[in-house]
Amino acid sequence: MASSKQSDYRLGIIFIIISAFCFALMNLFIRLSGDVPTLQKCFFRNLFALFVAAGTLVRTGTPFRIGKGNLKYLLIRSISGGLGMICNFYAVDNLAISDASILNKLSPFFAIIFSYIVLKETADRYEWLSVAAAFVGAMFVVKPTFGFDTLPAFAGFLGGLGAGLAYTYVRKLGMNGENSMIIVTFFSGFTCLMLLPNLILNFAPMTGKQLIFLILTGIAAAGGQIFITKAYAKAPAKEISVYDFSIVIFAAVFGFCFLGQLPDVYSFIGYIIIIGTAILKWRYTMKKSLE
Per-residue pLDDT of 131-189, as tens digits, reads 899 999 999 998 877 666 789 999 999 999 999 899 888 888 888 888 888 888 999 99
pLDDT at 202: 95
d(CA 131, CA 281): 10
SS3 1: coil
Rg (C-alpha) for the chain, rounded Å, is 18
Written as one letter, the residue type at 24 is A
pLDDT at 1: 46
What mean pLDDT value characterizes the chain?
88
User: Can you tell me the mean pLDDT for 101-112?
Assistant: 88
Q: How many domains would you assign to the chain?
A: 1
d(CA 223, CA 212): 16
Going by C-alpha positions, the residue among 291, 284, 290 that lies closest to residue 112 is 284
Per-residue pLDDT of 57-97, as tens digits, reads 999 998 999 989 999 999 999 999 999 999 999 999 999 99
Angle (nearest 5°) at CA 88 between 95 and 274 = 75
Domain span holding position 67: 2-290
- 63-72, 209-218, 225-234, 248-257: lowest mean pLDDT where? 225-234
Question: How does DSSP assign 41-79, residue by residue?
Answer: HHHHHHHHHHHHHHHHHHHHT----PPTT-HHHHHHHHH
Give the residue, 194 or 7, on which the prediction is more confident: 194
Written as one letter, the residue type at 199 is L
- 29-33, 237-241, 257-261: lowest mean pLDDT where? 237-241
pLDDT at 269: 93
Q: Residue 124: pLDDT above 70?
A: yes
Please answer whether residues 49 and 218 qualify as being in contact, where contact means their C-beta atoms are separated by less than 8 angstroms: yes
